[in-house]
Amino acid sequence: MSEKIERLKTLIIGSGPAGYTAAIYAARADLKPVVYTGMEPGGQLTTTTEVDNFPGYPEGIDGPTMMVQLQQQAERFGTEVRIGMATAVELSDTVGGIHKVTIDDNKTIEAETIIISTGASAKYLNIPSEQRLRGGGVSACAVCDGFFYRGQDVAIVGAGDTAAEEASYLANICNKVTMLVRKDHMRASKAMQHRVESLKNVEIRYNTEVDEVLGEQVVEGLRMVNNETGVKEDIAITGLFIAIGHKPSTDIFKGQLDMDETGYIITKGKSTKTNKPGVFASGDAQDREYRQAVTAAGTGCMAALDAERYLATVETPQETV
């Protein structure tokens, strides 16, 4: 027997700060939102030990606790949170049209509006010692975690504008920053290169890669290898920052939503509107610039408001089929 198709007013795909904030606003607007969490309920913050830069937490808070509280707040207003992953979508081109989403390859949801908050994931080197020490000194966000290494020696891996920006940020608060560049040149803009090169406490190592992150429970050092000579060298550090890019979790929307070359969903102007009516994108799925919890939450609020205004302009179809 085929399963009954469910019709929703607002479907939220993803459960990070953007998704849960969208759910809070949508629920308060009586949009009866349903959140599907995806494979990582709570998003990237569930892998973060301390969050010190989100407003309202003067003593800081650990990432998993913060996401549980955001979920509880969304549920308080009537949001239904479900474990499940969107595996296929069929988005309507028509204003007032119905969008179809397949959950876990076997359940069909029809939605009048969709808020995408699937986030993005940082790219890592994928060497065992790096993966083992994620959260113990290995981070993919200097702006998020750099504060904990104030006055200490750290290293950063990367050669683009993001790596250069994060190296500059770390140089302001850390004793020394060793920057590892895989090739004999940086990919960053000339202006960013000049900025990093002018910092006295930043040492740039070209043709250099990570061989192993040293330490049992926390980062204690780094073994580097020159990829031209094969010579290895150990340095003492307490933090390693990986800045080799992010990949937005937007693959299932390719071919239907406008995206940039990396896969970030393109939204219109200062709104969260996509090229499909009734489909809105928030958080790191559409933000390649800031990628912070607080900015993700802000765009989640915007997406819910955009969805509410959109629904007010179209005839509301029957809610169940």
Could you read off the pLDDT of 186-198 as tens digits, one per residue?
998 898 899 999 9
Mean pLDDT of the chain: 92
**Residue appearing with tokens 């009516």:** 277
pTM, full prediction = 0.76
Please give the angle made by the CA atoms of 54, 123 and 104, to the nearest 5 degrees.
85
The predicted model gives 212-234 an average pLDDT of: 96
pLDDT of residue 5: 85
Which of these ranges, 49-63, 253-267, 272-286, has the smallest mean pLDDT?
49-63
- Identify the DSSP state of 149: G
* pLDDT(47) > 70: no
pLDDT of residue 320: 43
- Tell me how crowded residue 261 is: count the other CB atoms within 10 A of its CB: 5
Pair of tokens at residue 26: 């949508």
Per the model's pLDDT, the better-predicted residue between 44 and 217 turns out to be: 217
pLDDT of residue 315: 64
Beta bridge partners of 274: none
* pLDDT(240) > 50: yes
The strand order across the sheet containing 221-226 reads: 208-214, 221-226, 232-235
In single-letter form, the type of residue at position 284 comes to: D
pLDDT band at 172, cuts 50/70/90? very high
Is 144 considered catalytic here?
A: yes
In single-letter form, the type of residue at position 245 comes to: G
What three-state secondary structure class fits 11? Answer: strand
Which tens digit of pLDDT belongs to each residue from 293-302? 899 999 999 9
DSSP 236-276: --SEEEE-S-EEES-GGGTTTS-B-TTSPBP--TTS-B-SS
Pair of tokens at residue 144: 């998020």
Pair of tokens at residue 267: 């939204």
Catalytic residue among 52, 62, 141, 174: 141
pLDDT of residue 120: 87
pLDDT band at 49, cuts 50/70/90? low
Catalytic residue among 52, 93, 104, 145: 145
The predicted model gives 69-92 an average pLDDT of: 96
Percent of the chain with pLDDT over 90: 79
* pLDDT(180) > 70: yes
DSSP 78-136: TPEEE---EEEEE---STT--EEEEETTTEEEEEEEEEE---EEE-----HHHHHTBTT
* pLDDT(1) > 60: no
Per the model's pLDDT, the better-predicted residue between 247 and 91 turns out to be: 91
The predicted model gives 82-111 an average pLDDT of: 95
Is 301 considered catalytic here?
A: no
How much is the CA Rg of the chain, to the nearest whole Å?
Answer: 22
Catalytic residue among 144, 153, 287, 306: 144
